[in-house]
Structure 1
Amino acid sequence: MLGSGRGGAAGGHMHGARWGVIAAVLAVSGCFDTEPCPAPLEACGGICYDLRTDRLHCGECGNACAGGEVCLSGACVSDPNAACVSRSGGAFVTLGVCGDTVKAWIVAPDFISRAEALVADPASPGAAVPTFDLRDGSDCDAQWSWSPSPATARFADAGSPSCSACPSSVQADPAGWITQVGVWCPPARVLAVHRQ
Protein backbone atom coordinates (compact mmCIF):
# COMPACT_ATOMS: atom_id res chain seq x y z
CA MET A 1 0.00 0.00 0.00
CA LEU A 2 2.74 2.40 0.97
CA GLY A 3 4.53 1.86 -2.34
CA SER A 4 1.38 2.46 -4.39
CA GLY A 5 0.65 5.62 -2.42
CA ARG A 6 4.04 7.07 -3.29
CA GLY A 7 3.68 6.06 -6.91
CA GLY A 8 0.23 7.66 -7.01
CA ALA A 9 1.56 10.87 -5.48
CA ALA A 10 4.49 10.95 -7.89
CA GLY A 11 2.12 10.27 -10.76
CA GLY A 12 -0.11 13.11 -9.56
CA HIS A 13 2.86 15.49 -9.41
CA MET A 14 3.93 14.47 -12.92
CA HIS A 15 0.38 14.92 -14.20
CA GLY A 16 0.23 18.38 -12.59
CA ALA A 17 3.66 19.27 -13.98
CA ARG A 18 2.54 18.33 -17.49
CA TRP A 19 -0.50 20.58 -17.20
CA GLY A 20 1.73 23.36 -15.87
CA VAL A 21 3.99 23.06 -18.92
CA ILE A 22 0.97 23.03 -21.25
CA ALA A 23 -0.49 26.09 -19.52
CA ALA A 24 2.86 27.92 -19.81
CA VAL A 25 3.08 27.13 -23.53
CA LEU A 26 -0.48 28.35 -24.10
CA ALA A 27 0.17 31.53 -22.12
CA VAL A 28 3.33 32.31 -24.12
CA SER A 29 1.47 31.70 -27.37
CA GLY A 30 -1.15 34.27 -26.40
CA CYS A 31 -4.01 31.82 -25.85
CA PHE A 32 -4.90 33.36 -22.50
CA ASP A 33 -5.27 36.95 -23.72
CA THR A 34 -8.29 38.30 -21.85
CA GLU A 35 -8.99 41.26 -24.13
CA PRO A 36 -9.83 40.36 -27.72
CA CYS A 37 -8.41 42.62 -30.39
CA PRO A 38 -10.84 44.56 -32.56
CA ALA A 39 -11.27 43.09 -36.04
CA PRO A 40 -9.24 42.71 -38.19
CA LEU A 41 -6.41 42.63 -35.61
CA GLU A 42 -5.22 39.54 -33.74
CA ALA A 43 -3.24 39.21 -30.51
CA CYS A 44 0.38 38.11 -30.67
CA GLY A 45 2.02 38.04 -27.26
CA GLY A 46 -0.71 40.25 -25.82
CA ILE A 47 -0.32 43.01 -28.47
CA CYS A 48 -2.78 43.53 -31.34
CA TYR A 49 -1.41 43.26 -34.89
CA ASP A 50 -2.91 43.20 -38.37
CA LEU A 51 -1.60 39.86 -39.64
CA ARG A 52 -2.44 40.95 -43.19
CA THR A 53 0.09 43.81 -43.15
CA ASP A 54 2.44 43.52 -40.14
CA ARG A 55 5.91 42.47 -41.27
CA LEU A 56 6.83 40.93 -37.89
CA HIS A 57 3.63 38.86 -37.75
CA CYS A 58 2.77 38.21 -41.39
CA GLY A 59 -0.09 35.77 -41.84
CA GLU A 60 0.50 34.37 -38.34
CA CYS A 61 2.08 35.41 -35.06
CA GLY A 62 5.88 35.39 -35.16
CA ASN A 63 6.18 34.96 -38.93
CA ALA A 64 8.60 37.81 -39.71
CA CYS A 65 9.28 38.95 -43.25
CA ALA A 66 12.92 39.06 -44.32
CA GLY A 67 14.78 42.32 -44.87
CA GLY A 68 13.52 44.05 -48.00
CA GLU A 69 10.08 42.43 -47.72
CA VAL A 70 6.68 43.69 -46.58
CA CYS A 71 3.57 41.84 -45.54
CA LEU A 72 0.78 42.18 -48.09
CA SER A 73 -2.44 40.22 -47.63
CA GLY A 74 -0.70 37.98 -45.09
CA ALA A 75 2.23 37.08 -47.36
CA CYS A 76 5.82 38.38 -47.37
CA VAL A 77 6.65 40.08 -50.70
CA SER A 78 9.48 42.29 -51.97
CA ASP A 79 9.19 45.78 -50.51
CA PRO A 80 9.06 48.54 -53.10
CA ASN A 81 9.41 50.92 -50.13
CA ALA A 82 12.30 49.21 -48.30
CA ALA A 83 13.08 52.46 -46.49
CA CYS A 84 9.97 51.95 -44.32
CA VAL A 85 11.75 49.39 -42.15
CA SER A 86 14.50 51.75 -41.07
CA ARG A 87 12.36 54.83 -40.38
CA SER A 88 12.66 56.54 -37.04
CA GLY A 89 11.30 59.59 -35.28
CA GLY A 90 7.64 58.74 -35.76
CA ALA A 91 5.13 55.93 -35.57
CA PHE A 92 3.16 53.60 -37.77
CA VAL A 93 -0.49 54.20 -36.88
CA THR A 94 -3.01 51.57 -37.97
CA LEU A 95 -6.61 52.67 -38.44
CA GLY A 96 -9.68 50.49 -38.82
CA VAL A 97 -12.01 52.03 -41.37
CA CYS A 98 -15.07 50.40 -42.95
CA GLY A 99 -13.66 46.89 -42.37
CA ASP A 100 -10.28 47.80 -43.91
CA THR A 101 -7.05 48.96 -42.35
CA VAL A 102 -4.86 51.90 -43.27
CA LYS A 103 -1.31 51.90 -41.94
CA ALA A 104 0.19 55.39 -41.99
CA TRP A 105 3.67 56.64 -41.11
CA ILE A 106 3.11 59.69 -38.88
CA VAL A 107 5.68 62.14 -37.50
CA ALA A 108 3.26 64.66 -35.92
CA PRO A 109 3.94 64.23 -32.15
CA ASP A 110 0.50 65.42 -30.98
CA PHE A 111 -1.23 63.00 -33.35
CA ILE A 112 0.91 60.08 -32.17
CA SER A 113 0.25 60.84 -28.48
CA ARG A 114 -3.50 61.19 -29.04
CA ALA A 115 -3.54 57.98 -31.12
CA GLU A 116 -1.84 56.11 -28.26
CA ALA A 117 -4.46 57.46 -25.84
CA LEU A 118 -7.26 56.26 -28.16
CA VAL A 119 -5.72 52.79 -28.39
CA ALA A 120 -5.64 52.60 -24.59
CA ASP A 121 -9.19 53.97 -24.24
CA PRO A 122 -11.27 54.59 -27.39
CA ALA A 123 -13.75 56.61 -25.30
CA SER A 124 -11.11 58.93 -23.81
CA PRO A 125 -12.21 62.57 -23.87
CA GLY A 126 -10.89 64.78 -26.64
CA ALA A 127 -10.72 64.96 -30.39
CA ALA A 128 -11.10 61.54 -31.99
CA VAL A 129 -11.59 61.99 -35.74
CA PRO A 130 -8.28 61.49 -37.59
CA THR A 131 -7.80 64.11 -40.28
CA PHE A 132 -5.17 63.84 -42.99
CA ASP A 133 -3.87 65.76 -45.95
CA LEU A 134 -3.49 63.19 -48.72
CA ARG A 135 -0.64 62.58 -51.11
CA ASP A 136 0.01 60.31 -54.05
CA GLY A 137 1.92 57.05 -53.42
CA SER A 138 1.42 54.09 -51.10
CA ASP A 139 4.23 54.95 -48.61
CA CYS A 140 4.47 51.72 -46.57
CA ASP A 141 0.90 50.45 -47.04
CA ALA A 142 1.02 48.82 -50.45
CA GLN A 143 -2.70 48.08 -50.55
CA TRP A 144 -3.43 51.78 -51.27
CA SER A 145 -2.04 53.99 -54.06
CA TRP A 146 -2.26 57.08 -51.79
CA SER A 147 -1.17 57.90 -48.25
CA PRO A 148 -1.76 60.38 -45.43
CA SER A 149 0.82 63.16 -45.16
CA PRO A 150 2.96 62.25 -42.11
CA ALA A 151 3.66 65.75 -40.77
CA THR A 152 0.17 67.27 -40.92
CA ALA A 153 -1.89 64.48 -39.36
CA ARG A 154 -4.25 65.78 -36.69
CA PHE A 155 -7.41 64.88 -34.78
CA ALA A 156 -10.65 66.86 -35.04
CA ASP A 157 -13.67 66.93 -32.75
CA ALA A 158 -15.98 66.03 -35.63
CA GLY A 159 -15.68 64.93 -39.23
CA SER A 160 -17.30 66.53 -42.23
CA PRO A 161 -19.39 64.62 -44.78
CA SER A 162 -17.24 66.13 -47.54
CA CYS A 163 -14.05 64.45 -46.27
CA SER A 164 -15.46 61.35 -44.56
CA ALA A 165 -15.12 58.22 -46.68
CA CYS A 166 -14.02 54.61 -46.64
CA PRO A 167 -10.46 53.98 -47.93
CA SER A 168 -11.90 52.07 -50.90
CA SER A 169 -13.71 55.27 -51.97
CA VAL A 170 -10.44 57.20 -51.86
CA GLN A 171 -8.76 54.36 -53.77
CA ALA A 172 -11.44 54.57 -56.48
CA ASP A 173 -10.42 58.19 -57.25
CA PRO A 174 -7.19 59.12 -55.46
CA ALA A 175 -6.41 62.02 -57.81
CA GLY A 176 -9.84 63.54 -57.13
CA TRP A 177 -9.40 63.18 -53.39
CA ILE A 178 -5.89 64.64 -53.44
CA THR A 179 -6.59 67.60 -55.74
CA GLN A 180 -10.26 68.39 -55.13
CA VAL A 181 -11.14 67.27 -51.60
CA GLY A 182 -7.62 67.54 -50.22
CA VAL A 183 -8.46 66.26 -46.73
CA TRP A 184 -9.55 62.84 -45.53
CA CYS A 185 -11.38 62.54 -42.19
CA PRO A 186 -12.50 58.91 -42.06
CA PRO A 187 -14.89 57.35 -39.56
CA ALA A 188 -11.93 55.44 -38.16
CA ARG A 189 -10.83 53.72 -34.99
CA VAL A 190 -7.16 53.77 -34.02
CA LEU A 191 -6.19 50.10 -33.76
CA ALA A 192 -2.46 50.25 -33.10
CA VAL A 193 0.49 52.62 -32.73
CA HIS A 194 4.06 51.38 -33.18
CA ARG A 195 6.76 53.99 -32.52
CA GLN A 196 10.09 53.72 -34.34
Structure 2
Amino acid sequence: MPKFEVRVPPHGLPGTLSVPGNAGALVLFAHGSGSGRLSPRNTTVAEALNARGIATLLFDLLSEAEEIDRANVFEITLLADRLTEAVNWAMADPRTAGLPLGLFGASTGAAAALKAAARLGPKVKAVVSRGGRPDLAWDDLGAVAAPTLLIVGGADETVLELNAEAFGRLTGDKALKIVPGASHLFPEPGALDEVIALSARWFERYLMGNGDGGSAP
Protein backbone atom coordinates (compact mmCIF):
# COMPACT_ATOMS: atom_id res chain seq x y z
CA MET A 1 0.00 0.00 0.00
CA PRO A 2 1.44 3.39 -0.96
CA LYS A 3 2.50 5.57 1.97
CA PHE A 4 3.61 9.14 1.47
CA GLU A 5 5.47 11.39 3.90
CA VAL A 6 3.84 14.76 3.33
CA ARG A 7 4.01 18.34 4.53
CA VAL A 8 0.59 19.81 5.08
CA PRO A 9 0.40 23.45 3.99
CA PRO A 10 0.48 26.28 4.81
CA HIS A 11 2.64 25.48 7.87
CA GLY A 12 4.49 22.47 6.45
CA LEU A 13 3.25 20.16 9.19
CA PRO A 14 4.66 16.62 8.81
CA GLY A 15 2.26 13.78 8.14
CA THR A 16 1.84 10.29 6.75
CA LEU A 17 -0.72 9.73 4.01
CA SER A 18 -1.65 6.09 3.40
CA VAL A 19 -3.74 5.32 0.32
CA PRO A 20 -4.77 1.69 -0.26
CA GLY A 21 -5.58 0.60 -3.79
CA ASN A 22 -9.08 1.60 -4.86
CA ALA A 23 -9.56 3.61 -1.68
CA GLY A 24 -13.21 4.44 -1.13
CA ALA A 25 -12.85 7.14 1.53
CA LEU A 26 -10.36 9.23 3.50
CA VAL A 27 -10.11 9.74 7.28
CA LEU A 28 -7.99 12.49 8.84
CA PHE A 29 -6.75 11.93 12.39
CA ALA A 30 -6.60 14.61 15.08
CA HIS A 31 -4.50 13.35 17.98
CA GLY A 32 -4.93 14.38 21.57
CA SER A 33 -2.82 16.35 24.01
CA GLY A 34 0.70 15.08 24.41
CA SER A 35 0.55 12.95 21.27
CA GLY A 36 1.35 13.27 17.58
CA ARG A 37 1.20 11.62 14.20
CA LEU A 38 3.18 8.64 15.54
CA SER A 39 0.63 7.82 18.25
CA PRO A 40 0.63 4.01 18.48
CA ARG A 41 -3.11 3.88 19.15
CA ASN A 42 -4.07 6.10 16.23
CA THR A 43 -1.58 4.30 14.00
CA THR A 44 -3.21 0.97 14.89
CA VAL A 45 -6.67 2.34 14.09
CA ALA A 46 -5.42 3.86 10.84
CA GLU A 47 -3.84 0.59 9.69
CA ALA A 48 -7.10 -1.24 10.37
CA LEU A 49 -9.00 1.33 8.29
CA ASN A 50 -6.43 1.00 5.50
CA ALA A 51 -7.11 -2.75 5.44
CA ARG A 52 -10.78 -1.91 4.82
CA GLY A 53 -10.04 0.33 1.84
CA ILE A 54 -10.02 3.67 3.67
CA ALA A 55 -7.14 6.10 3.13
CA THR A 56 -5.77 7.89 6.21
CA LEU A 57 -3.80 11.02 7.03
CA LEU A 58 -2.01 11.26 10.36
CA PHE A 59 -0.22 14.56 10.87
CA ASP A 60 1.12 16.83 13.60
CA LEU A 61 -1.30 19.62 14.36
CA LEU A 62 1.44 21.78 15.88
CA SER A 63 4.95 22.69 14.80
CA GLU A 64 7.90 21.77 17.01
CA ALA A 65 8.13 25.37 18.19
CA GLU A 66 4.43 25.48 19.04
CA GLU A 67 4.62 22.24 20.98
CA ILE A 68 7.08 23.83 23.42
CA ASP A 69 4.18 25.84 24.85
CA ARG A 70 2.02 23.10 26.35
CA ALA A 71 -0.97 25.46 26.47
CA ASN A 72 -1.24 25.08 22.69
CA VAL A 73 -2.42 21.48 22.97
CA PHE A 74 -5.60 22.81 24.60
CA GLU A 75 -6.11 25.64 22.09
CA ILE A 76 -9.04 23.97 20.37
CA THR A 77 -9.56 26.79 17.88
CA LEU A 78 -5.91 26.57 16.79
CA LEU A 79 -6.12 22.80 16.43
CA ALA A 80 -9.37 23.09 14.47
CA ASP A 81 -7.72 25.65 12.19
CA ARG A 82 -4.95 23.17 11.39
CA LEU A 83 -7.41 20.36 10.79
CA THR A 84 -9.49 22.57 8.51
CA GLU A 85 -6.39 23.45 6.50
CA ALA A 86 -5.52 19.76 6.21
CA VAL A 87 -9.03 18.92 5.00
CA ASN A 88 -8.86 21.58 2.31
CA TRP A 89 -5.42 20.36 1.22
CA ALA A 90 -6.52 16.72 1.08
CA MET A 91 -9.62 17.61 -0.94
CA ALA A 92 -7.39 19.26 -3.54
CA ASP A 93 -4.56 16.70 -3.59
CA PRO A 94 -4.85 14.37 -6.60
CA ARG A 95 -4.19 11.31 -4.41
CA THR A 96 -7.28 11.92 -2.29
CA ALA A 97 -9.44 14.43 -4.15
CA GLY A 98 -13.02 13.26 -4.53
CA LEU A 99 -12.93 10.76 -1.67
CA PRO A 100 -15.69 11.04 0.96
CA LEU A 101 -13.99 12.47 4.01
CA GLY A 102 -14.25 11.70 7.73
CA LEU A 103 -12.49 12.84 10.90
CA PHE A 104 -11.19 10.72 13.79
CA GLY A 105 -10.31 12.59 16.96
CA ALA A 106 -8.85 11.47 20.28
CA SER A 107 -8.89 13.40 23.56
CA THR A 108 -8.61 17.14 22.78
CA GLY A 109 -8.30 16.23 19.11
CA ALA A 110 -11.93 15.13 19.19
CA ALA A 111 -12.98 18.66 20.13
CA ALA A 112 -10.89 20.01 17.26
CA ALA A 113 -12.51 17.50 14.88
CA LEU A 114 -16.02 18.52 15.94
CA LYS A 115 -15.22 22.22 15.72
CA ALA A 116 -13.76 21.70 12.25
CA ALA A 117 -16.77 19.62 11.20
CA ALA A 118 -19.11 22.41 12.29
CA ARG A 119 -17.14 24.85 10.12
CA LEU A 120 -16.76 22.62 7.10
CA GLY A 121 -20.35 21.47 6.90
CA PRO A 122 -21.02 18.99 4.08
CA LYS A 123 -17.32 18.52 3.33
CA VAL A 124 -17.13 16.23 6.39
CA LYS A 125 -19.30 13.13 6.10
CA ALA A 126 -18.59 11.44 9.46
CA VAL A 127 -16.81 12.00 12.77
CA VAL A 128 -15.55 9.48 15.35
CA SER A 129 -14.31 10.46 18.81
CA ARG A 130 -12.15 8.04 20.84
CA GLY A 131 -11.95 8.91 24.53
CA GLY A 132 -12.59 12.45 23.40
CA ARG A 133 -13.42 15.75 25.00
CA PRO A 134 -16.34 16.93 22.86
CA ASP A 135 -17.32 19.24 25.70
CA LEU A 136 -14.38 21.46 24.73
CA ALA A 137 -16.27 22.21 21.50
CA TRP A 138 -19.52 22.84 23.40
CA ASP A 139 -20.66 25.93 21.49
CA ASP A 140 -20.10 24.20 18.13
CA LEU A 141 -21.83 20.89 18.79
CA GLY A 142 -25.25 22.03 17.62
CA ALA A 143 -23.78 23.00 14.25
CA VAL A 144 -22.19 19.60 13.54
CA ALA A 145 -24.12 18.08 10.65
CA ALA A 146 -21.85 15.06 10.16
CA PRO A 147 -22.97 11.76 11.75
CA THR A 148 -20.95 11.52 14.96
CA LEU A 149 -19.89 8.49 17.01
CA LEU A 150 -18.59 9.00 20.54
CA ILE A 151 -16.61 6.04 21.92
CA VAL A 152 -15.77 6.09 25.63
CA GLY A 153 -14.28 3.59 28.07
CA GLY A 154 -16.68 2.40 30.72
CA ALA A 155 -14.06 2.96 33.43
CA ASP A 156 -13.27 6.49 32.20
CA GLU A 157 -16.00 7.90 34.38
CA THR A 158 -15.34 11.65 34.16
CA VAL A 159 -14.90 11.60 30.39
CA LEU A 160 -17.96 9.39 30.04
CA GLU A 161 -20.05 11.95 31.91
CA LEU A 162 -18.71 14.76 29.72
CA ASN A 163 -19.47 12.75 26.58
CA ALA A 164 -23.01 12.05 27.74
CA GLU A 165 -23.60 15.76 28.22
CA ALA A 166 -22.08 16.62 24.84
CA PHE A 167 -24.09 13.87 23.16
CA GLY A 168 -27.26 15.68 24.09
CA ARG A 169 -26.06 18.77 22.22
CA LEU A 170 -25.50 16.95 18.94
CA THR A 171 -28.47 17.29 16.60
CA GLY A 172 -27.64 15.01 13.67
CA ASP A 173 -27.19 11.24 13.38
CA LYS A 174 -25.24 10.18 16.44
CA ALA A 175 -24.31 7.30 18.71
CA LEU A 176 -22.58 6.94 22.07
CA LYS A 177 -20.80 3.61 22.52
CA ILE A 178 -19.26 2.50 25.80
CA VAL A 179 -16.45 -0.06 25.84
CA PRO A 180 -17.01 -1.96 29.11
CA GLY A 181 -14.11 -1.85 31.57
CA ALA A 182 -11.90 0.31 29.37
CA SER A 183 -9.98 3.27 30.74
CA HIS A 184 -9.04 6.48 28.93
CA LEU A 185 -6.37 5.11 26.57
CA PHE A 186 -8.08 1.74 26.00
CA PRO A 187 -5.02 -0.33 27.02
CA GLU A 188 -7.08 -3.24 28.33
CA PRO A 189 -7.08 -6.49 26.30
CA GLY A 190 -9.52 -6.23 23.43
CA ALA A 191 -10.49 -2.61 24.16
CA LEU A 192 -8.73 -1.05 21.17
CA ASP A 193 -10.07 -3.84 18.95
CA GLU A 194 -13.55 -2.76 20.01
CA VAL A 195 -12.71 0.86 19.13
CA ILE A 196 -11.50 -0.27 15.71
CA ALA A 197 -14.62 -2.34 15.02
CA LEU A 198 -16.98 0.48 16.02
CA SER A 199 -15.01 3.12 14.11
CA ALA A 200 -14.71 1.03 10.96
CA ARG A 201 -18.43 0.31 10.88
CA TRP A 202 -19.28 3.97 11.35
CA PHE A 203 -16.98 5.11 8.56
CA GLU A 204 -18.04 2.27 6.26
CA ARG A 205 -21.66 3.22 6.76
CA TYR A 206 -21.39 6.98 6.35
CA LEU A 207 -18.41 7.29 4.01
CA MET A 208 -18.84 4.18 1.88
CA GLY A 209 -22.52 3.32 2.24
CA ASN A 210 -21.82 -0.10 3.76
CA GLY A 211 -23.06 -1.78 6.93
CA ASP A 212 -25.24 -0.62 9.76
CA GLY A 213 -22.67 1.64 11.42
CA GLY A 214 -24.31 1.98 14.80
CA SER A 215 -24.58 -1.61 15.98
CA ALA A 216 -22.12 -3.14 18.39
CA PRO A 217 -19.68 -5.67 16.95
Please, what TM-score do these two structures have when normalized by structure 2?
A: 0.24
Larger radius of gyration: 1
Please, what TM-score do these two structures have when normalized by structure 1?
A: 0.26
With a CA cutoff of 8 Å and minimum separation of 6, indicate the structure with the bigger relative contact order.
Answer: 1
